[in-house]
Amino acid sequence: MAIDVLDLVDLDKYPIHLPTSGDFRSLLAQTQAQLNDDGCAVLRGFVRADRITGLVQEANRVADRGHRSFNRTNVYFTQDNPAYRESHPLRRFFDRSNSFVPADNFGPESSIRSIYEWPLFSAFVQQALCEDRFFRYADPLADVIVNVAEEGAGFPWHFDTNNFTVTLAIQNAEQGGEFEYCPNLRTPDDENYPGVEAVLDENSSTVKTLALQPGDLQIFKGRYSLHRVRPLAGPRRRYVAIYSFVEEPAMVGSPERTRQLYGRVLPVHMERAGVRADTLVD
Ligand SMILES: O=C(O)CCC(=O)C(=O)O
Ligand SMILES: [Fe+2]
């Protein structure tokens, strides 16, 4: 490995390089407990403070390669349904803008990537999430990306369509950007529309707020916990690295979704779509 990941991660606080140690076992137990309790674990200062400037410089170098996409979505990413009253959560639409720097901008020399490629890192995250099937994403545009967000941007309230996300905070805007979430607001059996509506009306006591700092690692189960990133203010861009893990090896995104998020596709996306055209779902 070109980059020394052992020098990047604060191993005194987070001894993931010593998976048989007692300290590792207590870290794992604590992370599992946070994920069980409210679907969110934060490892503060996961990247050492003196290494954050390097990550910011890396993000600065590629930030203008971000692909911007805009849409209006409800919290479920579904189409409007006029069968419901207008104030129903299914009919509440918000502007969402993204700028994702595709993963092929983070090559073997990338510190941001080195954490993701470190086998003991994915082993730790897998155990923390208690997932049986857990693989790094094989998509060369999407496995390690950086979300670049500017003043006015943010992520409106939503439930994720994937089970979990692993993110590393790299730089905050001057103001805003707090992560707000409502642990287990819905379940597989109950959409809890009244609870969701109360949050959208800013009339809920279920909302928790996290102010993540550069270097903090977040593991978040977003399928059942409504969440958002509050709008940003000030000229400084917010950078967050997103590390993707999936339940099947060799998976890549569909050409449609890939083009929407990253502005282009690679031969592998077309080849896989050709082979699996009958089974494509998104
Ligand atoms: O940028 C973040 O901190 C999280 C964004 C988010 O919720 C998402 O990408 O689904
Ligand atoms: Fe999300």
Counting ligand 1 atoms within 8 A of each CB, the residue from 155, 159, 227, 242 with the most, and so the one to mutate, is 155
Amino acid identity for residue 51 in this structure: R
pLDDT of residue 1: 47
Amino acid at 33: A
User: Is the CB of 229 within 6 Å of ligand 1?
Assistant: yes
- Kindly report each contact of residues 47-54 with a partner whose C-beta sits within 8 Å and lies 24 or more positions away, as own/partner: 47/8, 47/9, 47/10, 47/115, 47/168, 47/214, 47/215, 47/217, 48/7, 48/8, 48/9, 48/10, 48/215, 49/215, 51/7, 51/8, 51/111, 51/215, 52/170, 52/214, 52/215, 54/111
155 Cα: distance to centroid of ligand 1 (angstroms): 7
Q: Could you report the per-residue pLDDT of 262-277, keeping only the tens digit for each?
A: 999 999 999 998 855 4
In terms of C-beta density within 10 A (0-12 exposed, 13-18 middle, 19 or more buried), how is residue 254 classed?
A: middle
Q: What angle do CA 227, 163, 170 make, to 5 degrees?
A: 60
**Percentage, residues of the chain above pLDDT 90:** 90
Out of 98, 242, 244, 260, give the residue to mutate to test ligand 1, the one with the largest number of ligand atoms within 8 Å of its CB: 242
Task: Tell me, using a 6 A CB cutoff, whether residue 124 lines ligand 1.
Answer: no
All structural domains of the chain with their residue ranges: 5-251
- The 10s digit of each residue's pLDDT in 181-230 is 999 999 999 999 999 999 999 999 999 999 999 999 999 999 999 999 99
What pLDDT, on a 0 to 100 scale, did the predictor assign at position 154?
81
Please give the distance, rounded to the nearest whole angstrom, from the Cα atom of residue 189 to the centre of ligand 2: 20
Q: What mean pLDDT, rounded, does the chain reach?
A: 94
Q: What is the 240 CA–ligand 1 centroid distance (Å)?
A: 8
CB 111 within 8 A of CB 144: no
> Given this model, what pLDDT does residue 185 score?
97
CATH fold group of domain 5-251: Jelly Rolls (2.60.120)
What does the pLDDT read at residue 274?
85
Residues in the chain predicted with pLDDT less than 70, given as ranges, are 1-2, 275-282
CA distance 70 to 260: 9
Q: How far is the CA of 83 from the centre of ligand 2 (A)?
A: 27
